[in-house]
Chain A
Amino acid sequence: MPYIAVFFAFVIYPVSYGLWMGSKPSLYVTLMNDPTYWTSIVNTVLYLGIAVNVKMVCALLLSGFFMRPGWWIKALLMIYVLPWAIPSMPAFISIHWFFNGDYGFLNDLLYDLFGINGPAWLDSRWLALGTMITSYIWKWMPFWTVILLAGRMAIPSEIHEAAKIDGATGVRGFIHITFPMLANLYFVCTLLSTIFTVGDFNAAYFVTGGGPAFATYVLATLGIRDAFDLSQPRLGVAAVITALPIVIPLVYLLMRKLKTAQVQL
Chain B
Amino acid sequence: MSTTAISVAPCNAASRLATSGQRLRRAARRRRWLANVGAALLSFVLLVWTIAPIFNIVMVSLEGHDDVFGGRIWPADPSLEGYWYLEYFWHQYGNSVCLGVAVTALTLLIGSLTSFSIGRMRIRHGWVVTNAALLTYVIPATFLAIPFYRLAQAYGMMNNLWSVIAALVAFATPYAIFIFQNYGASIPMELDESARIDGASPWQIYTKIYLPLMTPALVAVGTYALLLAWNDYLYQFLLLSSKQSMTVPVALAQFLNSDEAPWNYMMATAVIYSLPPIATYYMFRTKMTGGLTMGGVKG
Binding site for B on A (CB under 8 A): 1-4, 6-7, 9-11, 13-15, 17-18, 21, 62, 65, 68, 72-73, 76, 78-91, 93-98, 102-103, 105-106, 108-109, 111-112, 138, 142, 146-147, 149-151, 153-155, 181-182, 184-185, 192, 195-196, 198-202, 206, 220, 223-224, 227-228, 233, 236-237, 240-241, 243-244, 247, 250-251, 254-255, 258, 260-265
Task: Give residues 44-63 of B contacting A (CB, 8 Å).
Answer: 46-47, 49-57, 59-60
Given contacts A105-B56, A199-B141, A223-B146, 9 further A-B contacts (CB under 8 A): A11-B136, A83-B50, A103-B69, A103-B71, A150-B290, A220-B140, A240-B142, A247-B138, A264-B179
Q: Residue of A at shortest CB range from B255?
A: A93
Kindly specify which of B15-23, B188-196, B262-270 makes contact with the partner chain.
B262-270
Q: Residue of B at shortest CB range from A154?
A: B296
In the complex with contacts A65-B42, A201-B234, A10-B71 CB distance below 8 A: no
CA distance A6 to B129 in the complex (A): 12
Task: Give residues 258-299 of B contacting A (CB, 8 Å).
Answer: 263, 266-267, 269-270, 273-274, 277-278, 280-282, 285, 289-290, 292-299
Q: Taking the nearest CB of chain A, how far is it from the CB of B258, in angstroms?
A: 13
The B contact surface, by secondary structure, is: helix
Contact of A89 among B134, B167, B182, B231 (CB under 8 A): B231
Q: Top 10 A-B pairs ranked by shortest CB distance?
A: A199-B140, A90-B270, A150-B293, A10-B170, A154-B296, A261-B299, A3-B114, A18-B147, A85-B281, A220-B142
Binding site for A on B (CB under 8 A): 39, 42-43, 46-47, 49-57, 59-60, 68-69, 71-73, 110-111, 113-114, 117, 123, 129, 131-136, 138-151, 166-167, 169-170, 173, 175, 177-179, 182, 227, 230-231, 233-234, 238, 249, 252-253, 256, 263, 266-267, 269-270, 273-274, 277-278, 280-282, 285, 289-290, 292-299
In the complex with contacts A103-B68, A108-B73, A240-B140, A14-B151 CB distance below 8 A: yes
When the two chains form their complex, are residues A151 and B297 in contact, meaning their CB atoms are under 8 A apart?
yes
Cβ contacts under 8 Å, B249 to chain A: 87, 89-90
Cβ contacts under 8 Å, A255 to chain B: 131, 134
CA distance A223 to B142 in the complex (A): 8
When the two chains form their complex, are residues A6 and B169 in contact, meaning their CB atoms are under 8 A apart?
yes
When the two chains form their complex, are residues B278 and A86 in contact, meaning their CB atoms are under 8 A apart?
yes
When the two chains form their complex, are residues A86 and B140 in contact, meaning their CB atoms are under 8 A apart?
no
A-B contact pairs, 25 of them (CB 8 A): A2-B113, A3-B173, A7-B132, A7-B170, A11-B170, A15-B139, A68-B39, A85-B282, A87-B231, A90-B252, A90-B266, A90-B270, A93-B270, A94-B267, A97-B56, A105-B56, A147-B292, A150-B289, A150-B292, A199-B142, A227-B146, A255-B131, A260-B299, A263-B296, A265-B175
The A contact surface, by secondary structure, is: helix
In the complex with contacts A87-B231, A90-B270, A263-B299, A198-B140 CB distance below 8 A: yes
Q: Residue of A at shortest CB range from B267?
A: A94
Cβ contacts under 8 Å, A262 to chain B: 295, 298-299
When the two chains form their complex, are residues A3 and B133 in contact, meaning their CB atoms are under 8 A apart?
yes
Q: Taking the nearest CB of chain B, how far is it from the CB of A248, in angstroms?
A: 10
CA distance A74 to B7 in the complex (A): 52
When the two chains form their complex, are residues B54 and A82 in contact, meaning their CB atoms are under 8 A apart?
yes
Cβ contacts under 8 Å, A241 to chain B: 143
Cβ contacts under 8 Å, A85 to chain B: 227, 274, 277-278, 280-282
Cβ contacts under 8 Å, B274 to chain A: 85-87, 90-91
Q: Residue of A at shortest CB range from B141?
A: A199
When the two chains form their complex, are residues A240 and B296 in contact, meaning their CB atoms are under 8 A apart?
no
CA distance A109 to B51 in the complex (A): 14
CA distance A192 to B139 in the complex (A): 10
Greatest chain A CB density within 10 A among B57, B129, B147, B270 is at B147
In the complex with contacts A15-B139, A79-B47, A88-B170 CB distance below 8 A: no
Cβ contacts under 8 Å, B43 to chain A: 72-73, 76
